[in-house]
Structure formats: structure tokens, C-alpha cells
Amino acid sequence: MSIEQKIQSLRDELREHNYNYYILDNPTISDYEFDMKLKELQDLEAKYPEFYDANSPSLRVGGEVTKNFKTVVHEHRMYSLDNSYSKEDLLDWEKRIKKMIDGDVSYTCELKYDGASISLTYENGQLLRAVTRGDGTQGDDVTANIKTIKTVPLQLKGDFPQKFDIRGEIVLPFEGFNKMNEERVEAGEEPYRNPRNTASGSLKLQDSAEVAKRPLECLLYSIKGRKLGFSTQFESLEKARQMGFKVPEAAKLATSVDEVLEFIRYWDTHRHDLPYETDGVVVKVNNLQQQEELGYTAKAPRWAMAYKFKAEQVSTRLNEITYQVGRTGAITPVANLEPVELAGTTVKRASLHNADQIEKLDIREGDEVYVEKGGEIIPKIIAVDLSKRPAHSVPTIYITHCPECQTKLVRQEGDAKHYCPNYNGCNPQIIGRIQHFISRKAMDIDGLGGETVALLVNAGLITTYADLYTLTREDVLPLERMAEKSADNLLSGIEASKQIPFERVLFALGIRYVGETVAKKLAKHYKTIDALAEASVEDLISVDEIGDRIAESVIEFFSSEANRHIIDKLKTHGLQLELSAETLANQTEKLKGLSIVVSGVFETVSRTELKKLIEDNGAKVSSSISSKTNYLVAGANMGPSKRAKAETLGVSIISETDFLNLLS
């Protein structure tokens, strides 16, 4: 046997032992024998570096140091999930589903593990990269750290697609977490607060050898790609197991919401016996073609729902009510609490939402209050223990003036929030707008964080986001913790942001109610900032999905002389305030005014590409057939009821080829 064959043989053997131990929980050799084989491989690899393999089992021990984690755009976006808390929520969801798709619907029920989301990309059976969820569109490349986790296969087994992404959660089992904390306490260090945050923090450690010391696991649940070789979510889980991934066995196929609820009831009790943190159940439409039909909202898939277990509650004392000012001027009352442990974290503050909520619950300073984590993330006060209310207690009187600039607050009819109208003179609003402008989904300015923005505003160096583009090295170097390299990175990041496309610049401006999706629609429709600035309310509400509230907010923004002055400054600095020539070249008005429904499986282009072609050529993609539908583009396996409805309403049914011919 040659040296190369010996090295390959050891790698194959160690991979198999890893799989037996960490995935099957059925080791076939002792830890000592495994360690001896691993040492033999490490010695041979050190002696013969020409046989290096980026996915060798020897790399599990770590050692690679990552100073800066590269940002990577997800090929398949990582969406959030909509939450439900009751049987009624699930039944409403089922009704929405059955209105949109044909045929029987079955569901895959899976436990929702509380960890750090990860996307693993495999090509030709080998781990190519590992990327954190980030903002769902892009995340950080943490491949070196993920390679140290034993339940992440570096080389796949059996039959696998040529290239795909697989999503999962990086978790820290209770047993390993407790052991880590025992060691930290013995060493005189502070124990970690909870497994989830510790798992998440582990992914961004610079030294992968430190990550290797942590008993992290990776539980997988979703495969994304093309020509994957399965047609249901439940099949995909079995396929992932066959390829060597650790996929929890708890998943169950359900044919009705009643069966889903039975699964939820069982695990609401038995989850406490699991080795990992769980906070609910994820219910998915099982059929992948039906998932395609249902599609996505701006934030979440329509075909999945997270059912959250009842949140943990504790009682504690409310010491003081303070008030925060947001970037839109909205005032949020905050309860400052006697610190209390809740769902693995220490809670010191909770949102009180608005004046109506305070009045409804009659919340007062000094009260003993019940706190829970809404969706087990944001703490909120749900009730007051009136039996413990102090005798001298007085009702809470909501503030009338801004806590920052003392301007009299306003409250519009029908709006739950109070607002500070001092748009250009209230520091938290100014800082908040600029922090929104530089955020990842907006201008994504490297080297500039929220704290630095506050320093720049408080130092009088900037008062609007347009001022960022006039900053010099001499301006920023005196700032706290600003070294020469940091200053250069900040200025480079600001310069690079001039290439951010128009729709993201529009979102970055912070126009009230104009989120990512609305910004894309407005950019696509008006094509330039000047055309949008001149639009009337009537013109705006004629744009797909733009209502009165958004239209009025856009008009209000551009009617401000100060905002127009800022836009002029941004133009001067060279930001992208119109669609690029490349984007415009791909857009036509060939299908302007048409409403088109897409259904079935397509051959020449994917469903996503088909929808993009429809929108790029001026038509609207609709999810359901109505008398206003102009065309139904029918692919293979389209449901019979959609065809019948189209025929009844006289809607033209065309093939994928017919549609592509329409464009040409």
C-alpha cells in the first residue's frame, strides 16, 4: 500500500468511526484506539503535506485562526418562521393553505431546537462552506469552526446531490454545557448563562481549536437545491440521515391538524427529557411541490408554522418606568425590574408597549409583576399581583414631553404610540436613523457600528446620514477606541457603500412603513428617487401592495425640505439613487397591467425564475385565481381545481413555452 493509499485508508476509517460514534451512538472501537489512529494520520499528513485534504478528519481538532469572518450571500435565503400559540392559530393557517393549493395536505412535525442557525453547502459530497444565518440574506463564513463539530460530516456517505445547502441548528447539549460551567467555576471564571447563547458565541471564536473543545452538535432539518431526488420534507429527513447527517428521530408525519396537536401535546410534556433546549414545534407542509405553490411572504414561508410552547413565567418587582425614543420618534415605555432568572437568562427590563397597555393592566412602579418571554425572546409583563401592591401606590401617569428633548408629544387618532415630533432636533431619533441607514440590510457599512454612530453624533461630527460621506480621517481618529486601521476601515466602508443598489438605499432612508419589500416595489416602479419624490398619493396607491398609509408616509417624507436637502447631498456624494442600467435592461413593460398565476412544476426555468420574469416584464404575480387573472401558467402536476376554476372564469391557461413565447 502506498503512502497516499495509507493516508486515504485512515481517513475513510476515521470517518466511519466518527459516524458510528456521533450519529449512530454505536462506537465500534475504544476512544484510545481512535486516538491512536488519528495520531497516525496526523503524523503522516505532517510528513507528506502534498496529500493535504481540506476535509480530513484530522482537522476536527481545529487550530485555524480567523481574524475576520467573511460575509457570504446565501444562495437560498434563510427565512424566519411565523409563530402560533394556539389550536385556533394552526386552524387559521390550515384554512389559508387549503385556499391556495389543491388536494390533500399532510404535515411534517419537527421539534424546534433552540440553537444557532447554520447553512452548510456541500459540493461533490464534500463540505464547501458553513455560513451563519446573519440577516437571512447573508451571513458570516464560519467554516473553520464548523469543521471541528463531530456531527457535521466533512465527506458524505452513499448517494447525494451534486450540490446543495442543508440547514440546521448548532446546539450545546445540557450535559456538555453543565460540564463546561463546572470547569469554569473551578477555574474561578464566571459560568456561561445558557446553552443557546454559548453555542451561538462559539461560532465566532477566532481560534477553531477553542471551538473544538466545546461539545457542540449540529442537528439538521432542511435541504435546499435543485434536482435533489425526493418529493417530500419527510423523505428529505431520511435522505439526510443516509448521507451521514445527524437528524433528530422525533419528526412525525401528520395527516391533520388534530394529529399535529397530538404531537405538540406529547412534546410539551416530554421535551424536558431531551438532551437539548427546545422551544416549540415546527409544522411544515410535507409535499415539496405544494410548498413551491404556497411560496413566501416578505419574511416567512407560507408553508411552515412554528408552534411555540407556553412561555416560562416568573414574578419580580417593577422598580421604575422609563421611556425610550426610537428612530421614528415613537416612545416606548420600559419596565426596569429587579433582576430575575427567566428561560436561562437574567431579565432586568421589559417592554410595556404603550400607554394603553399600562392603563389596561394598571401597571405601577413598586408592583410585583408577572414576566414572560414573548416567543421566549422579548420579555413582557403579562399581569400584576395586586395582593402585593404597596399601600402608598399611585397610578402611572404617562409622560407628556419627550424624555430627551422635552418637546411635547403627539398621538394620532387610532395610533397606540405617542411620538416626539422633533424629527431633526431629537438626538435618539437622529442616531437611530443613521444606525438604520448603516445596518446590514440597508447600506451595510463595514467598520461602522451603532456605538460609533452615537459617538459621531454626540461629537457634533454628523447630524444626518448624508454627513457620513464628508467624514475625514482627522475627524474620526480622536474618537474613543478609534485606531488608525479602524479609521481607515470605516472610511473604506463608507466609500464602498456608494455602490449599494437603489432599492437598498431607498430602504436605508428610513421612510416610515417602507420596509425592504416595499422599497423594492417602489424602486422598481419609479426607477429613480426624483420620480418617487414627485409621485402623488393617487399614483402611489396604484402601485401593487401600496396602501394609503405607506403612500401618505412617502409624501410626508419628500415634502420635508430638510429631507430633500439630504437627498441632494446623497446625489452629490454619488450614491445609487436610480436603478442601474443593467437592472433596467432586464425590465420591460411587455406584460404591464396583467395579473398572472403560476402553478405546477416547470422544466425550462424554475418557479422562482418564472415569477421574476413576470415581475420584470411589468405584470403582477398573484397567488390565487380570480376574475381579474389574465393568465394561468400551467406546469406539470397542476391541481385539477385550479384548472377548473380558471376554465369557469374564462382565464387563459398557457404552458411554460407559451409564456416564454409571449416575452419574445
Tell me if 304 sits within 8 A of 295, measured CB to CB.
Answer: no
Q: Whole-angstrom Cα distance, residue 347 to residue 377? A: 11
CB contact set of 602 (below 8 Å; sequence gap of 6+): 610, 635, 636, 656
* Radius of gyration (C-alpha) of the chain in whole angstroms: 28
Torsion of Cα atoms, 56 then 60 then 64 then 69, to 10°: 100
Q: How far is CA 250 from CA 112, 242, 274, 476, 628, in A?
A: 11, 16, 10, 54, 45
CA 84 to centroid of chain Cα atoms = 18
Residue with cell 416612545: 331
- Given 98, 112, 520, 642, which residue is catalytic? 112
CB contact set of 415 (below 8 Å; sequence gap of 6+): none
Could you give the angle at which helices 31-47 and 3-18 cross, rounded to 10 degrees? 150
Q: Which amino acid is at 276?
A: Y
Q: Whole-angstrom Cα distance, residue 534 to residue 340? A: 53
Could you give the angle at which helices 427-438 and 450-458 cross, rounded to 10 degrees? 140
Return the closest-CA partner of residue 103 out of 642, 545, 479, 511. 642
112 flagged as catalytic: yes
Report helix, strand or coil for 214: coil
List the helix and strand counts (H, then E) for the chain.
25, 20
Residue-wise over 341-378: b if at least 16 C-beta within 10 A, else e?
A: ebbbeebeebbbbbbeebeebebbeebbbebbbeebee
Q: What positions carry a catalytic annotation?
A: 112
